[in-house]
Structure 1
Amino acid sequence: MADESGLEGRLADLASSGQRYAAPQVAEQVRARGDRRRRRKRAARASGGVVMAAALAMGVLSVTRLGPEAVPSAAKPTAAASVSLFVPPTPAPGEEYASELGFVYHAVSLKQNMVQVTVAQVRTGNGVAVPTGVVHKVTLKPETPVEVEHVAGGEARDMRVSELVDRLRTGPQWVFALDYDGEGRVQSLREAHWLTTD
């Protein structure tokens, strides 16, 4: 019996000493976690301030860069607005060219025999060419091949764009398919004789 009570006493001593040594570790862990939380909050506040300052600086720079001249006047539409809408078509995977349909007109001979034309983009609806409102200019090499039919008086044949400057000098009359390569350059024109125009 005396041995059992002595054993109980020793176990009680061990338990109390264990609690004594365990309690400071638990308290230290709690303090360490609290310190980490405080550091994270401070870092978040600091980085949030930096991000906010950067965002404000970018906003000020973009507003400053716009300036009053960058905003187009509602009373005076500019040609640049319609030019910016045009994106040269890109060939699909495995295709050599991508095509754009459009009225080709206002042909002008430039220096070095280059030819500049205006293209008013169209889309097709039931075999009829319908303008999209996108108008842009294209500069072509004089030897750019052109397949024509109605432009040449109803006879299907191949010509060079330099030979068609006089016929394409006036306003929109004929619709062409312009074939663009992967670099966005026009490689050929084909008269879209199968389309009717309004």
Structure 2
Amino acid sequence: MEASAITQSDLVGLRAPSAFLRLQSDEKLVTLTRRGNQSAYEALVGRYHARILGFTRHMLSSKEDAEDVTQESFAAAYSAMMADERAINVKPWLYRIARNRSLNHMRRQSAIGVDDFDHHVANHGRTTEDEVSQREDLRQLMTDVRDLPESQRTALLLREIDALSYDQIAEAMETTVPSV
């Protein structure tokens, strides 16, 4: 199966990667993938899909956009993985790809001019009043998080939502630990 075609729902229909593969380190799964073992790549996707989807969901305003960006991220990861033999620290590397893809998506949205009606449709027709009554505290928190500069928002989400270490956050953001 081509990497760009793998989604979380597809994983349900596939037979699960063997227990042997699920127990392998990320580095071993990368090596096996590079040798043509598609099940090893599926094991990596299964290991990180929910985390990357959660991260992109927090970065973007739409569940559908997050799903698209997550799929793009795994497709890009597969292509990059197969392109050369460099060592990969998989977890922060995947988050870096997802972050960059999310930022590219946000830039594209700004360029095409997404308006309030588009957000209304993306929220399945719920009004602002409905959202306020259902989730005022959460909404305010998410607004505050979204208002943070991109680098601070990314670092906060990686630390608090995805529980990455400061070293992993620095690697994912291509910066130093003190700047995190």
Q: What TM-score does the superposition give when structure 2 sets the normalisation length?
A: 0.23
- If asked which structure has higher relative contact order (CA below 8 Å, sep 6+), I would say 2
In our comparison, the structure showing a higher alpha carbon Rg is 1
Normalising by structure 1, we get a TM-score of 0.22
Query: Comparing both structures, which one devotes a greater share of its residues to strand?
Result: 1
